[in-house]
Amino acid sequence: MGDQSINNDRPAKRQVTTGAVGNSVKTWSSPEGRADIRVPFREVPLSPEANEPPVRIYDTSGPYTDPTATIDVAQGLPALRAPWLARRGLDTVPQARAVRPEDNGFVTGKYGVAPCPAEHVVWRGSEGRPVTQYEFACAGIVTEEMIFAAHRENLGRIEKDPDAAARRADGEDFGADIPEFVTPEFVRSEIAKGRAILPANINHPELEPMVIGRNFLVKINANIGNSAVTSSAEEEIDKLVWAIRWGADTVMDLSTGTNIHNIRDWILRNSPVPIGTVPLYQALEKVGGVAEKLTWEIFRDTLIEQAEQGVDYFTIHAGVRLAHVPLTANRTTGIVSRGGSIMAAWCLAYHRESFLYEHFEDICDICRAYDISFSLGDGLRPGSLADANDAAQFAELETLGELTKIAHAKGCQVMIEGPGHVPMHKIRVNMTRQLDACGEAPFYTLGPLTTDIAPGYDHITSGIGAAMIGWYGCAMLCYVTPKEHLGLPDRADVKTGVITYKIAAHAADLAKGHPAARIHDDAISRARFDFRWEDQFNLALDPDTARSFHDETLPKAAHKTA
């Protein structure tokens, strides 16, 4: 019946949100012969009159929804990847980079957030041995992470769904290559082809592996960031916990200001999903917010700082080249990406090529050593329909294609960030050009927003574009909340953003003809037609809201079982 304590209120201090989603039951499944690999799912049991098996649902929520788990954020989550990593001949880093005052914004005294006490051994890849999932994949080696992700994509099925072939034939996938059943070998081959990534820093052993690529389920990302005044590490962790509870597949920590090193540590030690960052933001903090003071050395040091902590993917705006900046001169909304503006300001200040572009191979070396995936930033993404698909945007995309090749040659995993604000009829060309320019590397877009006129509702303006680009082949959709353009999202906004994007991603899976996506829809439709209200609520993406909306107008329990 759902935990009544689960609502939009923040949990009490020193706690994070726990408890089942609706009345779903946490369950685990292991691939055949690999009892050491336990893949989490949640299952919705149906009422007896349904005479149907429970419905299994992809589960991003981690141990927080496991009633048997003891959650202690000071200790962090279990390091489930540790035994796998231990067998890979990685080097421990005896002299890990020490935390410096600038890493936490020179915070002192009572405003400081203490470091996370969870134990954390720092690893680094060796030369000559595969480190990244890409290197393993290219060497023909199937990793435990790939096995985990494959089993997860199949929702634990041990063979293809009986309707898989029919569903595939019924879909329209725009040339994708979605299998009827996902094998670990398929995951490997997709990663080796550069068509998928499995973001998993070797210093993030707490991660439950997942795969991002257009031949897999469409994924979603939620952004979180620290509050102006951080009251506690738990409050920051709970933003993560709340986002993954509702379905965020990855989370980007976009915190700025004080305590960000320590908060990031707390987040990583307690995150079962890949964590992404924009290292440029922290580097800028270290130079007092003045773009011109940025140097390669400060940036490099920030990469290593975050790499050792375990960040799984980095947004790197190396595609904003000096020559591209003039292409934005006549735009309606100039450069709206924060990373893009920083780099454009730097390039213009010195009239020099971007240090990110010039040092891209050095960045690759760092990313390879920890298996940090690239999320090549679209610093010149349009900030309005007027600027969609313009010369600046596509010039950068071509550069991202070049960089993709370099990163692959260096053994790194790569995905590509995309817009932004794009009217519906210009969305598809974004997808086709990206696939073409970047050798089918996974695309990861922000929306896109399909109109500019609805501030306060940009989860919807962008959810439309997100569903469409997901259908066309976008691998991951970065959520937009109702507060976009207006302010910082609160807890209700984060949930609304995540649910909206789960809708978009699932609508895309259905349209692509994903072999099993419709099982969930069909189950809820049968429940609806049979007036099994409890089953309908429990199968809803957001059981709490479905139940409460029903209660508002038909409060009597009798109506629910009618």
d(CA 442, CA 375): 9
Q: Exposed, middle or buried: residue 170 (CB in 10 Å: 0-12, 13-18, 19+)?
A: exposed
CB atoms within 10 A of CB 231: 11
C-alpha to C-alpha distance for 429 and 268, rounded to whole angstroms:
36
Under rule CB under 8 A, residue 521 binds a copy of itself: yes
Instruction: Compute how many residues bind a copy of itself; rule: CB under 8 A.
Output: 71
Residue 20's alpha-carbon distances to 149, 401, 442, 538, in angstroms, are: 23, 43, 32, 11
462-481 binders of a copy of itself (CB under 8 A): 463-464, 467-468, 471
In the complex with a copy of itself, which residue's Cβ is closer, 22 or 125? 22
- Judged by CB under 8 A, the chain residues 92 through 131 that form the site for a copy of itself are none
| 508 belongs to the binding site for a copy of itself (CB under 8 A) | yes
What is d(CA 377, CA 101) in angstroms, rounded to the nearest whole number?
Answer: 28
* DSSP H/E element including 414: strand 414-418
- Minimum gap (Å) between residue 209 Cβ and a copy of itself: 25
DSSP assigned state of 449 = B
* Stretch of 96-104, 304-312, 391-399, 549-557 contacting a copy of itself, by CB under 8 A: 549-557
Judged by beta carbon, residue 129 or residue 528, the one nearer a copy of itself is 528
Q: Residue 455 contacts by C-beta under 8 Å, 6 or more apart in sequence?
A: 484, 485, 486
Least CB distance from residue 480 to a copy of itself, whole Å? 12
Strand (E) or helix (H) holding 252? strand 250-253
Site residues (CB under 8 A) for a copy of itself, limited to 482-501: 482-483, 485-488, 490, 499-500
Contact between 51 and a copy of itself by CB under 8 A: the answer reads: no
Pick one of 524, 532, 534, 535: the residue that binds a copy of itself (CB under 8 A).
524
Short-list 227, 303, 217, 279, CA closest to 258: 227
535 binds a copy of itself (CB under 8 A): no
Selected binder of a copy of itself within 360, 511, 515, 516 (CB under 8 A): 511
Applying CB under 8 A, which of residues 139, 352, 455, 531 lies at the interface with a copy of itself? 455
The rounded distance, in Å, linking the Cα atoms of 188 and 515 is 20
Angle at which helix 296-309 crosses helix 260-269, to 10 degrees, equals 30
What is the smallest separation between the CB atom of 168 and a copy of itself, expressed in angstroms?
12
Give yes or no for residue 271 binding a copy of itself (CB under 8 A).
Answer: no
| Nearest distance from C-beta of residue 467 to a copy of itself, angstroms | 5
**By the rule CB under 8 A, 384 interacts with a copy of itself:** yes
**Quick one: 430 exposed, middle or buried, by C-beta within 10 A (0-12, 13-18, 19+)?**
buried
Selected from 53, 67, 162, 456, the binder of a copy of itself by CB under 8 A is 456
Instruction: Rule CB under 8 A: choose which of 118, 507, 515, 532 binds a copy of itself.
Output: 507
For every residue of 463-499, DSSP letters joined together read HHHHHHHHHHT-SEEE---TTTTTS---HHHHHHHHH
- The candidate with the shortest Cα–Cα distance to 53, out of 157, 167, 183, is 157
Ranges within 70-89 binding a copy of itself (CB under 8 A): none
Nearer to a copy of itself, 494 or 539 (CB): 539
- Between 128 and 529, whose beta carbon lies closer to a copy of itself? 529
Name residue 73's amino acid.
Answer: V
> For a copy of itself, which is the closer residue by CB, 18 or 536?
536
Q: CB of residue 163 vs a copy of itself: minimum separation in angstroms?
A: 11
CA–CA separation, 321 vs 392, rounded Å? 10
Nearest residue (CB) to a copy of itself, 22 versus 184: 22
**What's the order of all strands across the beta sheet hosting 55-58?**
25-29, 39-44, 55-58
CB of 545 to a copy of itself, least distance (A): 4
Among 172, 292, 361, 436, binds a copy of itself (CB under 8 A): 172
Instruction: Name the minimum Å distance from CB 73 to a copy of itself.
Output: 26
Is residue 217 within the footprint of a copy of itself (CB under 8 A)? no
- The CA-based angle 24-146-181, given to 5 degrees, is 70
HEC per residue, 518-531? HHHHHHHHHHHHCC
**Closest separation between CB of residue 329 and a copy of itself, Å?**
13
Binding mask 390-429 for a copy of itself (x = CB under 8 A): -------------------------------x-xxx----
Q: Is 361 in the site for a copy of itself (CB under 8 A)?
A: no
The neighbouring-strand residues paired with 40 are 28
- The window from 34-42, 187-195, 299-307, 518-526 that contacts a copy of itself (CB under 8 A) reads 518-526
